[in-house]
Amino acid sequence: MEINVNVKSNLRIQAFYLFFIIVSMQIGVGILGVPRLIFSEAKQDSWISILMATVYIIIVLFVMLLTLKQYDNADIHGIHLDVFGKWLGKLFSTVYILYFAIALYSVLITYIEIVKVFVFPEVSNFVMGLILICLTIYGVLGGLRVIIGVSFVFGVLANWILFLLIHPALQIDLAHYLPLFQASFVDLLKGAMASSYTFMGFEILFLVYPFIHNKNKVSISSILAVTWSSLLVLAATMLAIGFFAAAQLERREWAVLVLFKTQSFPFVERFDYIVVAELMMVVAPSLLFLMWGLTYSIKRVYKVQQKTTLYITSALFLIGTFFFEKHFETQQVINFANQFGLWLIYVYPFVLLPFVLLKKRLNKRKGARSS
């Protein structure tokens, strides 16, 4: 395995698309349930928590970019190899691979559960899983450029759902936001932590960085993406807080989805059905990127052909949909993914950066001595 990834120029993408990559990774099933999680910690001051989380994520992004800039064209696995050597590097890369797998699995079963609760209670997990996984295989076989295309098209097309939030927005009760500034700093931090699962996804930058053509635009594109995702989460949370009474919101799963339930038009009585279907367009890019990240990482680290791992892991996921059918089991998977990701995504970049800088300095010294 080489440290730097050699990507042919015709396979490279513009940094502009990074916006859609990160947004479609971040916004998925998490946004539907996050208002309750943040609200139960930070109450009516949840917006401060979200802003805090956003600022923190932007700092993490800077650290990630700083790490990547130390190399010509490396990704996380190359960096691991360079910093930790062959065996330890492989171990750390495997942790990343496991993270992609668990994140993919949690998205998959959460979406299946939503479909079962809201639309088809009788549908079997296996059928839903099969359909979603067929879609994922089909997309991943097309390669990264196809996946980015999907995330771009779906990322643009799915935005019309936001217009359906106008009606609930007109019914919010401003008294629910008052009095301001009641939550303590610890509560605000807890609220920010509660949003971590929703905001996960920008770690894909560690993988797609070598594929980007104009590297000077990477930071602006990724920061805009994170900001946009935060605005969406902020809007959803504020709407839910204004719309529901506190006691209601604390008990509602998928509060954002329920917002769509409260309106009806003469031609469509129930918008939540349409939104659940539309959500497929939001979930599909996440699934595709995670599956691509999983198979591509295995290829990078273990030199196994991407197609082989794609079929094997897909079969494993499909079998996996049989398990964890209960809601609380699903929640446990999500919590596990959350804990896993919390350390790997939000903390690990800070650990990695000093190692990378140290290694670079050592290399320089070595280089100076040899010359």
Partner 1 sequence: MIRKTILLLIFSVLLTSCVPYKQLEELGIINTRGVDKIENNQLETTIIAYQFDAQSPEITTTVFGIGNTIKGARENAGYNTNFELSPGQIRLELYGKETAEDGILEYLSTLVRDARVSDTMLVAVSNVTAKEVLTAGQEELMTDVGQLIQSLIEKEVQEYSIPKTSLQNYLRIESDIGQDPVVPLIGLRDKKPAIVGLAAFQNDRLVGELPIDQAFLINVFLTNTKDTPLEITLQREPLSDYIYNNVSDTYQADNPENEDQFTILVKVLKGQGDIKLKNIEDLHFEANIHLEVDLYETSELLSIKDEKIASILEEEMAKEFERQYNVLFAQLQEINSDPFGFGIIYRINKKDGELTDTEWREKFPNVTVDFNVNVDLMHYGTIQ
Task: State the residues that interact with partner 1 by CB under 8 A.
Answer: 44, 117-123, 127, 131, 173, 175-176, 178-179, 182, 243-248, 258, 261-264, 269-270, 272
Nearer to partner 1, 125 or 222 (CB): 125
Q: Shortest gap between Cβ of 176 and partner 1 (angstroms)? A: 8
Query: Distance (Å, rounded) from C-alpha 175 to C-alpha 159?
Result: 29
**Phi, psi at residue 123, to the nearest 5°?**
-65, 145
Peptide bond into 266 cis (omega under 30): no
Q: Shortest gap between Cβ of 329 and partner 1 (angstroms)? A: 19
Query: Distance (Å, rounded) from C-alpha 257 to C-alpha 271?
Result: 9
Is residue 210 within 8 A of residue 4, CB to CB? The reply is yes
Nearer to partner 1, 173 or 329 (CB): 173
Q: What secondary structure, in 3-state letters, does 80-109 show?
A: HHHHHHHHHHHHHHHHHHHHHHHHHHHHHH
Nearer to partner 1, 250 or 329 (CB): 250
Nearer to partner 1, 23 or 284 (CB): 284
Is residue 29 within 8 A of residue 107, CB to CB? The reply is yes
Nearer to partner 1, 215 or 270 (CB): 270
Query: Distance (Å, rounded) from C-alpha 116 to C-alpha 125?
Result: 8
Neighbours of 90 (CB within 10 A): 17
Nearer to partner 1, 124 or 227 (CB): 124
Q: Shortest gap between Cβ of 124 and partner 1 (angstroms)? A: 9
- Collapsed DSSP state (helix, strand, coil) of residue 120: coil
Q: Shortest gap between Cβ of 179 and partner 1 (angstroms)? A: 4
**CA 235: distance to chain centroid?**
18
Nearer to partner 1, 84 or 253 (CB): 253
Query: Distance (Å, rounded) from C-alpha 174 to C-alpha 49?
Result: 19
Nearer to partner 1, 72 or 173 (CB): 173
What tokens does 4 get? 């730097």
Q: Shortest gap between Cβ of 29 and partner 1 (angstroms)? A: 15
What tokens does 81 get? 């190899």
Q: Shortest gap between Cβ of 81 and partner 1 (angstroms)? A: 42
Instruction: Look at the block and give the residue holding tokens 């931090």.
Output: 189
Q: Shortest gap between Cβ of 240 and partner 1 (angstroms)? A: 12
Q: What is the DSSP string of 105-172?
A: HHHHHHHHHHHHHHT-TT--HHHHHHHHHHHHHHHHHT-HHHHHHHHHHHHHHGGGGGGGGHHHHHT-
**Cα angle for residues 65, 104, 215 (degrees, 5° grid):** 20
Q: Shortest gap between Cβ of 192 and partner 1 (angstroms)? A: 21
Nearer to partner 1, 114 or 144 (CB): 114
Q: Shortest gap between Cβ of 248 and partner 1 (angstroms)? A: 5
Dihedral sign, Cα of residue 255, residue 236, residue 33, residue 49: negative
Query: Distance (Å, rounded) from C-alpha 95 to C-alpha 271?
Result: 40
